[in-house]
Amino acid sequence: MTAARLGRSVATTVAVADAPRSAGILHLGLGSFHRAHQAVYTAAALAAGSGDDWGIVGVASRSRSVVDAMRAQDMLYSVAEISPAGTRLAVPAVHTDAFVAADEPDRVVRAIADPAIRIVTLTVTENGYSYSPATGHLDVASPVIAADLQGGSPASTIGQLARGIQRRAAASGAPLTVLSCDNLAANGSHTRRLVREFLQSLPGAEGAEALAFLDERVSFPSSMVDRIVPSTTPELRARASELLGARDDIPVPAEPFTMWAIEDDFRAGRPAWEAGGAVFTEEVGRYEQMKVRLLNGTHSLIAYLGALRGVETIPEAIGLADIDAAARIVLADEYAPSIEMPSGVDFDEYRRELFERWGNTALGHRTTQVGTDGSVKLRQRIPEPAVLALDNGAMPHLIALTVASYLSCLAPLPGFQPGRFADAMTDAARPRLAEAAAGARNGAGIADAAISGLQLFGEELAGRPAFITRVGELIDTITGGGVEAAVADSVAA
C-alpha cells in the first residue's frame, strides 16, 4: 500500500501482506475495537511466521455495514493511528471471511464446532454477556436467554458459545480456547461460568456431555485489552481513501498506545501475539484491575462530568482544571488503593501515560461514547473499590460523584437538562432509570431507586446507605447548583 500523509506527519509505507490461507480464529464482535486491536496483533504474529492457518473469520452480531464493506474491500481496511504528532496508516490483512450472526445464526454454531477453529475470541462489550448486574449470574429470565434455552439458533453470545460447544462436544470433541477480550473483571472465568450456567439450565441431562467436554477440553484464559478506539468519521473515511489511493469505507481511528495481557492457557495452540507486543502473564488479574479501575473508572468520571459541562470530547473535558483535579483524585486516592500493580508496571508512569492519552486532542474521543452503556460498564468499574473504601471508614467522594453524574445524565430530575451529549448516551437501563426519576422528588430518591432498588451496581453497594445518601446529595448539587459546584464539593471533601 502507499505512503500516506494525514494531519501533520508522514505515515510509513504499509505493505499489505498475503491473506492467511485459512482461519483458526472465530471472532465474535466485528467492531472497530477488534479491528484495531486483536487483528493488528494477529497481523504481527503472521508477519513473524505464525502459521498462515491463523486467519480470522469475523462475525458481526447484527450490523451489516462492516461485513458488506469488508467483503467489498477483499477483507482489507486501514487502522489510522492518530496522535497530535501525526497519523500512521496500517492495513492488517488477517480476515479470511466475515458474516452477520443475525443473518446466518446457525453458521456461528457450526463455526464454533468446526475443528479448524481453535480459538474463539470475543469483543461483544460488557453488554453482550447476558448477566444480571445485581448477581453477576446468567440472566436466565431475559427474553433472549430464555429463547436460546428453548432451542433453535441462538441469538445471544453466551447461547452461541454454549450451543457451539455442545455441537463440538458431540462431533469432533476437539479442544478449544474461548478468549474474552472485553472489559470485565476476570473475563475468562466469568465467561466460563456463564456458559456453564447456560448448559446447566438446559432441561434434563441435555447439557451434560457439553459440560464434561467444557471442563476437560475448553479453556477460558482471561485477558486485559487496552486501546482507545473512537468511532470512525466521514472525514477519516475520505482522507484514508485519498491517502491509500483505494476506497476505504471502514477505516478505524485509534490511539498509538496498545496493550494486551493474556493468561497463557490455550488448549489448541495460538498465534505468537507477542510479536505485536502482547504480554503472556500469570498476573492478568492485576492487569485487568489496573485497567478497569484506573483507566476505565476514571474515564467514566471524565465522560459524565464533561457531558454535563457541555463538552463534546474527552480531551476537552480533561483540559478543564477541575475535571483534571477530580480525575487525579479518584485515580490515586480511590481506585489505586484497591489494586496491585502488575510486576514491572510503574504506577507513576502508567498514570502519566493515562493523562497523556486522555489529552490526545487529535483523536477526538467523545464523552457520549464513553458515557454510553454506563449501567453495565460502571458495574465493572466502581463497586469493589467503593466498598473497600467504605469498609476502611472512608467515603469515596469521587466514586460517588461518578455515580451522581451518571444518574444526572441518564436519570435527571424532572426539570433538569443534562445537555445534548448526555442525551445522546444510549443505555439499556434508560427506561428503568427514567421511571425511577419520574417517581423521585430529589437526588436521594433517584440514588435509592438506582443503587438499592434496581441494584445497578450489585448487591453489596445496594446495602451501603451512607454511599447512597452521598450520591443523592451530589445529584441535588448537580441539578440545583451545577456540576462545577458538585466537583468543587467532592474535591474539597
Query: Could you tell me the end-to-end alpha-carbon distance of the chain, in angstroms, rounded to an integer?
Result: 55
Residue the block writes with cell 428453548: 150
Which residues in the 332-371 window bind ligand CS2 by CB under 6 A? 369-370
Taking alpha carbons only, the member of 189, 192, 233 closest to residue 214 is 192
Minimum CB distance to ligand CS2 smaller for 32 or for 177? 32
Minimum CB distance to ligand CS2 smaller for 270 or for 291? 291
Report in angstroms how near the CB of residue 313 gets to ligand CS2 at its nearest: 13
Report in angstroms how near the CB of residue 356 gets to ligand CS2 at its nearest: 14
Minimum CB distance to ligand CS2 smaller for 42 or for 166? 42
CA 195 to the chain's CA centroid: 19
Number of residues that bind ligand CS2 (CB under 6 A): 9
Report in angstroms how near the CB of residue 179 gets to ligand CS2 at its nearest: 16
Instruction: Answer for the pair 414, 438: CB distance below 8 angstroms, yes or no.
Output: yes
Q: Could you give the 3-state DSSP secondary structure of residue 433?
A: helix
DSSP 26: E
Minimum CB distance to ligand CS2 smaller for 226 or for 476? 226
Minimum CB distance to ligand CS2 smaller for 358 or for 467? 358
Report in angstroms how near the CB of residue 307 gets to ligand CS2 at its nearest: 13
Rounded distance between C-alpha atoms, residue 187 and residue 206, angstroms: 26
Minimum CB distance to ligand CS2 smaller for 2 or for 233? 233
**How large is the C-alpha radius of gyration of the chain?**
22
Backbone angles phi, psi at 419, to 5 degrees: 100, 165
CB-neighbour burial class of residue 488 (10 A; exposed 0-12, middle 13-18, buried 19+): middle
Which residues in the 280-309 window bind ligand CS2 by CB under 6 A? 296, 299
Q: How far is CA 13 from CA 16, 66, 88, in A?
A: 10, 25, 9
DSSP per-residue string spanning 441-487:
SSHHHHHIIIIIIS-TTHHHHHT-HHHHHHHHHHHHHHHHH-HHHHH
Minimum CB distance to ligand CS2 smaller for 41 or for 198? 41
Instruction: Answer for the pair 234, 15: CB distance below 8 angstroms, yes or no.
Output: no
Report in angstroms how near the CB of residue 155 gets to ligand CS2 at its nearest: 24
Minimum CB distance to ligand CS2 smaller for 20 or for 297? 297
Which residues in the 231-260 window bind ligand CS2 by CB under 6 A? none
Report in angstroms how near the CB of residue 350 gets to ligand CS2 at its nearest: 13
- Contacts (Cβ under 8 Å, ≥6 apart) of 279: 259, 260, 261, 262, 287
Which residues in the 189-228 window bind ligand CS2 by CB under 6 A? 226-228
Report in angstroms how near the CB of residue 365 gets to ligand CS2 at its nearest: 7
Report in angstroms how near the CB of residue 378 gets to ligand CS2 at its nearest: 9
Minimum CB distance to ligand CS2 smaller for 56 or for 261? 261
- Contacts (Cβ under 8 Å, ≥6 apart) of 348: none
Residue number with the smallest Cβ distance to ligand CS2: 299
Minimum CB distance to ligand CS2 smaller for 104 or for 312? 312
Report in angstroms how near the CB of residue 175 gets to ligand CS2 at its nearest: 30
Report in angstroms how near the CB of residue 261 gets to ligand CS2 at its nearest: 12
Instruction: Answer for the pair 286, 294: CB distance below 8 angstroms, yes or no.
Output: no
Q: Does 377 bind ligand CS2 (CB under 6 A)?
A: yes
Backbone angles phi, psi at 131, to 5 degrees: -115, 160
Contacting positions for ligand CS2 (CB under 6 A): 183, 226-228, 296, 299, 369-370, 377
